[in-house]
Structure formats: structure tokens, C-alpha cells
């Protein structure tokens, strides 16, 4: 068993890194345990243009800045680990990794983030990574000069569609409703891009191909008519699911498997807080994740002091 930390943060996205910055700056002995690459959804964002006080910045660059800030204040970060067991009750909370290592802390901040929501239609699992992607920043370059479909109608879908026009010769946005849910500026940016077309009131019904994706089936919802369309790639942006599968029997979740917190980011377990895309809330942005991480850290500090 390692030393007992003051604060242990599970997750190193925007919320987790911010909590790490605040906690370590407050001279708390702080550890971040992260199951994937540091940065979370920021790494999958090509450009962040609406972070107050910061001009346009690449997602990976924002990640590197936050990571350096946390480390400079003394926060320890252990990445690419896999958690096997949680013991969150009691005054000392313990996390056991699959490799047998055990870490303990007097308080815990849960910030595991989320994962892309799948369409759950035939062929999706078969063609993941073989024509189907959930990250324009990660995979856009592989589709240079190709024709692509983007599924979704929110900010992420339209912003990523615009990003994909840097590579693709044509991008078609398929959305299930007759209007977009994105902010108006995102809608207008997409509509004025000559490489982007739109298919509204429609949903994908299947993916087909021989080893790699080559065709999709689209249903026009008002009539139920199915149309086959040849395509080189599909990017899916229909929201995220919280990474809380391993926490279902441990912490209080709502019917969407999001962690229930109060205004101080407190969960139902004393000394355990949560922040970021894993919690029950309406909006999910880098700024809201940073705010969550700040509040969770300050609440953890208050818990430890009083």
C-alpha cells in the first residue's frame, strides 16, 4: 500500500485536472489515478475556441497546460491504470488496481468522464475503427479526400463536421429532427460551409461493407422510406454516456447512470465528491467541467479541515 493521500482523484479530464490543480495548490497531498490518456474529452477536441480568456487552442495543448499546472503544484498523476475495486465508505477510502497496487486517501473526487454514445444499430460494432469513428480530431486525416457522414444535431456534431471539412471532400450531416439542437452560431457556421450538406428528419439503420464500411442505410422518418448510400466513413456525435459502470453498486446514480451530487459536488458518501461529465447536470463543456472540479476540490478541502 502506498501512503495515504489527502485527496485521490479518479480521472484526468478537465474536471479531474482542475481538481488536482486546486487541491495540490492548497498543499493537500494529491494523487490522480487515470484509466486512459490524460485529457479525457479535451484530447478528442480539435479546437477549443470558447474558453474565457484563452484564444483558440488545440485540445491537446489545453490538456498539456492543465497537466503541467497540476504537476507544478505537486500533484502526482498515474495514468493507464485499471481499477479493480473501490472501498469508499469510512474515513479512509481505498482503491485497488488490477495489478494489485493499493492507494488510499482521506477524500475522493470521482471524475471518470464519459464515452461516446453509440447508435446501437446493425454493423456498428463490426465497423468501429473500420470506417466508423467517434473522434474527428483522432481520425479525420485518415479520410482525406473522402465522403463522410456525421450523425447528430448538437454543437459537437456541427463543430466536428466543420473540422472534418479540412480533410474530406464532402460531409453530410444526418439528424433525426427537422431543427438542430446546437447553438445558432454553430448552425450558421455549418450552413455556410460549402462542403457540408444536410439530411434532416432521418436516422441511420445499418452499416454494411466487406471488411471496411462502404454503405449505410438511412430512414426518412416521416415516411419510413429506406435509402442506401455509398459512403467512405461515418462519424457519430450523439452525446456521451457516463463512465460509471463500475460504480453502480457503490455510489448513488440516477436513471441515466449519472452520479447524483449536490451543489457542493458531494455524493451520498461522506468524503466522496464527483465532477465533470459523470455527474447529473444539463450542460457539458470544458468550462462546466472546470467549474465542477473547482467546487469538488474546495468541498474536499472543507471536508478535510472540518
Residues 96 and 195 in one domain: no
d(CA 286, CA 295): 14
**Phi, psi values for residue 157, rounded to 5°:** -60, -50
**Last residue within a domain, chosen from 176, 204, 236:** 236
pLDDT for position 150: 98
Q: 262 burial class (0-12, 13-18, 19+ CB within 10 angstroms)?
A: exposed
Domain of 187 in residue numbering reads as: 118-236
CB atoms within 10 A of CB 31: 23
**Phi, psi values for residue 25, rounded to 5°:** -65, -25
Residues 85 and 219 in one domain: no
pLDDT for position 33: 98
Which of 144, 127, 145 is closest to 236 using CA atoms?
Answer: 127
**Phi, psi values for residue 237, rounded to 5°:** -135, 75
pLDDT for position 1: 53
pLDDT for position 282: 84
3-state DSSP of 107-173: EEEECCCEEECCCCCCCHHHHECCCEECCHHHHHHHHCCCEEEEECCCHHHHHHHHHHCCCCCEEEE
Residues 98 and 245 in one domain: yes
**Last residue within a domain, chosen from 236, 258, 281:** 236
d(CA 284, CA 192): 26
Residues 283 and 299 in one domain: yes
- Per-residue confidence in pLDDT tens, the chain, 306 aa: 568 999 999 999 999 999 999 999 999 999 999 998 899 988 877 778 889 999 889 889 999 999 999 999 999 999 999 999 999 999 999 999 999 999 999 999 999 999 889 999 999 999 999 999 998 878 899 999 999 999 999 998 999 999 999 999 999 999 999 999 999 999 999 999 999 999 999 999 999 999 999 999 999 999 999 999 999 999 999 988 999 999 999 999 999 999 999 999 999 999 999 999 999 998 888 999 999 999 999 999 999 998
Amino acid at each position: 500500500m502506498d501512503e495515504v493521500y489527502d485527496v485521490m482523484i479518479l480521472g484526468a479530464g478537465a474536471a479531474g485536472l482542475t481538481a488536482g490543480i486546486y487541491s495540490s495548490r492548497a498543499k493537500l497531498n494529491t494523487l490522480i489515478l487515470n484509466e486512459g490518456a490524460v485529457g479525457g474529452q479535451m484530447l478528442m477536441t480539435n479546437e477549443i475556441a470558447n474558453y474565457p480568456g484563452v484564444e483558440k487552442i488545440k485540445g491537446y495543448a489545453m490538456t498539456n497546460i492543465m497537466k503541467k499546472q497540476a504537476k507544478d503544484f505537486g500533484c502526482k498523476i498515474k495514468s493507464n491504470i485499471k481499477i479493480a475495486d473501490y472501498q469508499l465508505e469510512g474515513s479512509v477510502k481505498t482503491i485497488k488496481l488490477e495489478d494489485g497496487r493499493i492507494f488510499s486517501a482521506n477524500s475522493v473526487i470521482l471524475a471518470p468522464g464519459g464515452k461516446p454514445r453509440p447508435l446501437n444499430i446493425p454493423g456498428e460494432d463490426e465497423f468501429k475503427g473500420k470506417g466508423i469513428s467517434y473522434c474527428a480530431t483522432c481520425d479525420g486525416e485518415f479520410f482525406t479526400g473522402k465522403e463522410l457522414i456525421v450523425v447528430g444535431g448538437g454543437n459537437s456534431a456541427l463543430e466536428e463536421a466543420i473540422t472534418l471539412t479540412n480533410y474530406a471532400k464532402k460531409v453530410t450531416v444526418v439528424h433525426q429532427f427537422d431543427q438542430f439542437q446546437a447553438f445558432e452560431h454553430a448552425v450558421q457556421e455549418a450552413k455556410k460551409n460549402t462542403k457540408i450538406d444536410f439530411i434532416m428528419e432521418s436516422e441511420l439503420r445499418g452499416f454494411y461493407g466487406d471488411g471496411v464500411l462502404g454503405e449505410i442505410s438511412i430512414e426518412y422518418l416521416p415516411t419510413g422510406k429506406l435509402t442506401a448510400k455509398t459512403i467512405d466513413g461515418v462519424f457519430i456525435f450523439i452525446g456521451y454516456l457516463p463512465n460509471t459502470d463500475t460504480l453502480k453498486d457503490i455510489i448513488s446514480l440516477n436513471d441515466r447512470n449519472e452520479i447524483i451530487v449536490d451543489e457542493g459536488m458531494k455524493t451520498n458518501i461522506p468524503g466522496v465528491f464527483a465532477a465533470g461529465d459523470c455527474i447529473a447536470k444539463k450542460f457539458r463543456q470544458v468550462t462546466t467541467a472546470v467549474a465542477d472540479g473547482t467546487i469538488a476540490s474546495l468541498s474536499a478541502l472543507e471536508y478535510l479541515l472540518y
